[in-house]
Structure 1
Amino acid sequence: MTCALQSYQSSTYAVKNDRIVYIEGESYVENVVRGYDTVWAYFHENKNSLISGQSLEANVGIILSCGTFSYAHMPKDFIYITGVSGTLRTLANAEKNILSEVYGISRNTFMPSVFGKSNRNYYPKSDVEAVEKSEYFTRIQEEVDTMVNAKRSILVFFESEERLLEFYNCDRLASMKHLLLRGKVTLLTRTFGRGTDFICRNQQVLANGGIHVLQTFFSKELSEEYQIMGRGARQGDRGSYRMILLENDLEWVLGSDWDKKINEIKGSTLYEALNDERTKLYEANCAGKTCGINQCEADHNKSKNFLDAIVNGDMNIVQNFLLEQNRGPNIYANVSRTVLLIDATGSMSNLLSATKDTVCTMFERASEILKEKKLPSDIFSMQFVVYRNYNSQAEKILEVSPWETKGSGLRAFMNTIGPEGGWGAEAIEIGLWHAVNESETRESISQVILIGDAPANSQGDVSSKRARYGENYWKTTKFSKPTFYQDELKKLKDKDIPIHTFYLTDYAKSNFEEIAKETKGRCEFLDIRSSAGIDALTNYVTEEVLRKAAGSQGEEAVKLYREKYGKVTFTS
């Protein structure tokens, strides 16, 4: 509690409806508590008259952690595991391995449809297109017009409610809204693409070609694409399917240089190229999930034993478990504090997922090595900081976790973070600005680890990109004063705080090398699009945490770590 009192203002929160809230995805949520950071935020904002006394009374107190349960391990408690899926054939190899090795599912049965061969009209080489933003809604409307004129019904699937409403409220749709009321045109979010049956009883519609399904985004999972496609041409009926994609939405699958790649694959090779890249990303992502499943098992089993002890009245086990679960960090004068800066723009979905899946492993391994070196295992803490760019509003351009001495807290924070935005060079200067602020606290920081796939904004970039919302907007935020990465770099350099950089693309290489060299940090290439990249991420971060936390024994601790867990090295 006292540790959080020193650092709670670093955590990103807002006050809405007399509550401390956190942003998750596209909206604020009120049912999230980030430990004592949230408790102190209530007291702080009550003092500022932004939280009422009634809300303060209702939302503060002693937090008692009673364990952690893993949904991934709950099925293991059942004698028999079986399931039904319409997308079994689309599983990635890593997913098949999880089903087999983790859950012991050894038999698969594929049953053909009782309705025979599908009557869906869909040809990937001609029915998938990517367009610029200026054409995007126009092409969707044209597709709708075509289906309506052909006296057919159309289901249009959008990635988010925000995008759906943007299309619904655009001028181009104004003259067509009466068609929505008549059931000829239905706008839906991706959620309705799984398990929702749309039945057509209009024989004229079926005779004219049936229901047409239009998907306006590229799914991160092939199984989702199959499910959305399957909302039409059901039970032997006729139907058709197309995709109209927004080019800059494809950054997550093509990378930060998507604008160059898109022109090379447009046309008949578009879908094949996108699917190949998606498969690589998804296989790597699934490898991270395997790591995540394994790292949750120990805590899950301890929590189950705790429940058994309550039932059996074994108060000794109950007390010891609660004591360990709620033990705060020991306060050392030389605690190592690491800020992990992560690019959270559109192309970084795999990095964000991998970080979430491996963070507990990082903590466990670092603690184990410190114990072997006869050092306190909790002599280090970490803070995760994600940055984006000036096309994200203030609450999303920088999101910050509490300082944590356990990986589970950081994993919970990463569960709320998703990729969004992206605008060429990114706002690394905002992340470094935050690191400088943390270095000016009483506890300061020991080092910064920066991971991304795009360089920092230039001074010209900062000025032009801030103009998107205007200085009047930024002046109302904590980012009121523009800054430049080299200015923040100098402040950290003057304090001898190293910045270790890990770049994911050649686009970021030169800038990341400069940042690391200026501060005497380490610079490495990280291929997060491969399964080996998951191990590399774990190793790189854990090594640098150990190097600082172990002090004079830092190099020996890293050597012991490499002997025990191996070393993964990439060359650019």
Structure 2
Amino acid sequence: MSNEYSQFKKHFGSKWQAFAYLQVSRMCMQRQEVHETPYEFDGHRVGYVKNDTVNWDVSYGYVTMFHYLQEWEDGRLQEPVLESKLKLQVSCGRFAYSEVELPKVMLGVSGTVDDLTANQREILKQIYGIGPQQHSVMPSVFGESNLRFLDCLQQFNPLLICNESDHALEIAKAIDEQLDNGRSVLVFFESDAALEAFASSSHFQGLSCSCKTQQLVASAPAKERKRIVFNAATWNHVTLCSAAFGRGTDFISRDPHLLENGGVHVIQTFFSRDKSEETQIMGRTARQGQKGSYSMILSKEHLQKIGVQQIPQGTPAELYKKLCDFREQHDEAWKLEIEAKLQESRKDHDETSAYVDRAKTGCLQTISDGFNDYTLRQTSPTGCSKCRVILVVDATLSMGKLWHSASRAIMTAVKRIREWGGIYEFKWIAYRDYCDEKLIEQSTWTSDEKVLQQFIDRIECEGGGGNSGEAVEEGLKAARLEHEKETVAAIVHVGDEPARDAIEEDPSFKHPMQTTYHEEADKLSDCGIAVYSYRVGWLESTKLTCQTLADKTGGTFGDLGVDDDSLIHAICTRSFMAAGDMKALAEYRVRYENEQD
């Protein structure tokens, strides 16, 4: 124990020892996140990009404090300012909006209420009691919209799906076409990285000599953003925007020449899983009764990444309907995620309310006990950051017995893991083979065993067999793409059939084979993700697949029975290993296992 920590504990006294330990644990944990959280600095304040601007009020606890320390060490921050920021980050409660009583009447809530999916409407009614009879939508004061989209096929292609390799070219061609017609163009990208990739492409560079180009990103100073927005709706301007500027940014045009030629044209380069986001981006043109038009240019790879397995064919109107049907059908995962979050927020709300009740007593001992109880529940006992584990499991016909066991096993496994504390989240990915209709099915991320069980119970083990392997690589690819969104600690793979060694084409395939398990294992290894691979059954070829996955990624290979206990132990032990919690792993084995790895 360091002298500094000893003095820290002594300063707070015996009543607050748990508080002192947890604060230091939280500092150590968040110190690891400092370089993973980008920030802005204006000479006095640390801020973070939120939506379309830098928010100078938001704080990420000790991460923000360490950012101030970094600026001071680099000589950009005065010591008196630093001193004012070096404070303990104490959480005194979390109240849930869903538990707060609503006023009887709300006005001006949202312009996209009509875009809610069936599941979103159900959540709205379930939580807030707002059904079809409890809300009204007022028409716009500017009258009927003059926006052109699917009805303008004679002027331009309103919806184009192309290969990723042609994506930048097609965007540039569409921009050029609109500029030739005397328009200005807003191009919306899903992320800053996608925007920067297009901006640095030769296709965009070729446009800059014939028009005025600009980039609207959140990191730009406020005055610069205001100037860009003002000029964007002016003839012969092309403005590249990140998706955040699709909400609320007013690209009103005051250029009569532009309005005569049809106004601002908006190009969206990705498909929104949330219909309201699409509506908002579409609404950046045809403002206040003005003319305007909109189009989409999407890459096949982007659609596959968000779960569109069969790329639609047909006219732009037919394509759009099929994409909208996909969006509605795949909204179930969103609903499950919201329900899980609501459950967690209610738990936080109840724990906070219990602490507040203790605080109202005015008794120092009661308040101290209540505060320590609340703090202990909010913090991992091990001081670990969130550990995310993905289970990639074969869901073909021959795996039916294991999936039957999995429904019970996941309930027990997650409950056991919770006994040792820590912050764990799980995702379950079911894979089949290329000849099957449902190649991949995925659960939402959750720490709730009931949500996982509901997903498992909905899975039908079908297909597979009759050819040279199963689509192990597609399950691994889906897991890797999750890691690109947020860090995944480990993958647990379970299967009874081998993977193919090379890309194959087969007339029975309903999905193209685009990668191999060797390629995916190498990519996962580069990401630092271990695969703990289990063989069900006796096939030597399956053992070779599993052993290769483990060897390439630094994981382990093992044989797995189809009984509950085998799967429970696999989930628990590999989760503790993924979190680096060797103490919990050892204690678990003493209590529940007689075997060793």
Q: For the superposition of Structure 1 and Structure 2, which TM-score range results when normalised by the shorter chain? A: 0.5 to 0.7
Q: Does 1:286 align with 2:335?
A: yes
Q: 1:13-412 alignment to 2 at 5 Å?
A: 13-14=34-35, 64-74=90-100, 76=101, 78=103, 80-106=105-131, 107-123=134-150, 127-169=158-200, 170-178=204-212, 183-184=234-235, 185-187=237-239, 188-254=241-307, 261-262=310-311, 265=313, 268=316, 269-307=318-356, 310=359, 313=362, 315=364, 317-327=366-376, 340-342=388-390, 378-382=419-423
Q: Does 1:519 align with 2:558?
A: yes
Q: Which has the higher contact order (CA 8 A, sep 6+)?
A: 1
Give the conservation status (yes or no) of the 8 Å contact 1:449–1:501. Answer: no
Question: Which residue pairs with 1:403 in the alignment?
Answer: none
Deviation (angstroms), 1:68: 2.2
Q: Judging changes above 3 Å, is the alpha-carbon distance between structure 1 residues 117 and 460 closer, same or farther for their aligned structure 2 residues?
A: closer
Q: Judging changes above 3 Å, is the alpha-carbon distance between structure 1 residues 121 and 5 closer, same or farther for their aligned structure 2 residues?
A: closer
Q: Distance in 2 between matches of 1:312 and 1:186?
A: 63
Q: Deviations over 1:132-191 (max 9, x none)?
A: 333322222222222222222322222223333443444223213436668332422222
Give the conservation status (yes or no) of the 8 Å contact 2:389–2:575. Answer: no
Give the conservation status (yes or no) of the 8 Å contact 1:254–1:274. Answer: no
Deviation (angstroms), 1:301: 3.3
Q: Distance in 2 between matches of 1:6 and 1:195?
A: 37
Q: Does 1:458 align with 2:458?
A: no
Report which stretch shifted further, 293-302 or 217-226. Answer: 293-302
Question: Secondary structure at the residue paired with 2:295?
Answer: strand
The code of the aligned residue for 2:95 comes to: F
Q: Judging changes above 3 Å, is the alpha-carbon distance between structure 1 residues 312 and 79 closer, same or farther for their aligned structure 2 residues?
A: farther
What is the RMSD of the two structures over their aligned residues, measured on CA atoms?
Answer: 6.0
Q: Distance in 1 between matches of 2:518 and 2:265?
A: 46
Give the conservation status (yes or no) of the 8 Å contact 1:127–1:242. Answer: yes
The code of the aligned residue for 1:146 comes to: E
Q: Deviations over 1:396-448 (max 9, x none)?
A: xxxxxxxxxx99xxxxxxxxxxxxxx9984897x99xxx9xx9xxxxxxxx97
Q: Distance in 2 between matches of 1:159 and 1:366?
A: 39
Identity fraction in percent: 24
Q: Distance in 2 between matches of 1:331 and 1:203?
A: 64
Q: Judging changes above 3 Å, is the alpha-carbon distance between structure 1 residues 10 and 265 closer, same or farther for their aligned structure 2 residues?
A: farther
Aligned length: 425
Q: Judging changes above 3 Å, is the alpha-carbon distance between structure 1 residues 201 and 296 closer, same or farther for their aligned structure 2 residues?
A: same
Q: Deviations over 1:270-323 (max 9, x none)?
A: 323322222222332123202211221132133245446546635455323211
Deviation (angstroms), 1:341: 2.8
Q: Judging changes above 3 Å, is the alpha-carbon distance between structure 1 residues 165 and 522 closer, same or farther for their aligned structure 2 residues?
A: farther
Report which stretch shifted further, 147-156 or 62-71. Answer: 62-71
Q: What is the TM-score with the length of structure 2 in the denominator?
A: 0.53
Q: Distance in 1 between matches of 2:40 and 2:146?
A: 54
Q: Judging changes above 3 Å, is the alpha-carbon distance between structure 1 residues 10 and 86 closer, same or farther for their aligned structure 2 residues?
A: closer
Q: Distance in 2 between matches of 1:140 and 1:212?
A: 12
Deviation (angstroms), 1:225: 0.9
The code of the aligned residue for 1:68 comes to: R
Deviation (angstroms), 1:343: 9.3
The code of the aligned residue for 1:92 comes to: T
Q: Judging changes above 3 Å, is the alpha-carbon distance between structure 1 residues 131 and 23 closer, same or farther for their aligned structure 2 residues?
A: farther
Question: Secondary structure at the residue paired with 1:289?
Answer: helix
The code of the aligned residue for 1:520 comes to: D
Q: Distance in 2 between matches of 1:200 and 1:271?
A: 28
Q: Distance in 1 between matches of 2:210 and 2:120?
A: 43
Deviation (angstroms), 1:553: 7.8
Q: Judging changes above 3 Å, is the alpha-carbon distance between structure 1 residues 116 and 49 closer, same or farther for their aligned structure 2 residues?
A: closer
Unaligned regions of 5+ residues in structure 2, if any? 1-20, 215-230, 393-410, 428-446, 449-473, 496-512, 537-541, 577-583
Q: What is the TM-score with the length of structure 1 in the denominator?
A: 0.55
Give the conservation status (yes or no) of the 8 Å contact 1:154–1:186. Answer: yes
Unaligned regions of 5+ residues in structure 1, if any? 345-364, 371-375, 387-405, 408-421, 439-446, 467-478, 490-497, 503-507, 525-537, 556-572
Deviation (angstroms), 1:91: 0.6
Question: Secondary structure at the residue paired with 2:111?
Answer: coil
Q: Distance in 1 between matches of 2:380 and 2:205?
A: 60
Question: Which residue pairs with 1:568 in the alignment?
Answer: none
Give the conservation status (yes or no) of the 8 Å contact 1:253–1:281. Answer: no
Q: Deviations over 1:313-348 (max 9, x none)?
A: 35455323211123388989xxx999643499xxxx
Q: Distance in 1 between matches of 2:66 and 2:246?
A: 41
Give the conservation status (yes or no) of the 8 Å contact 2:285–2:292. Answer: yes
Report which stretch shifted further, 307-316 or 117-126. Answer: 307-316
The code of the aligned residue for 2:246 comes to: G
Q: Judging changes above 3 Å, is the alpha-carbon distance between structure 1 residues 40 and 243 closer, same or farther for their aligned structure 2 residues?
A: closer
Q: Distance in 1 between matches of 2:353 and 2:320?
A: 46
Question: Secondary structure at the residue paired with 1:265?
Answer: coil
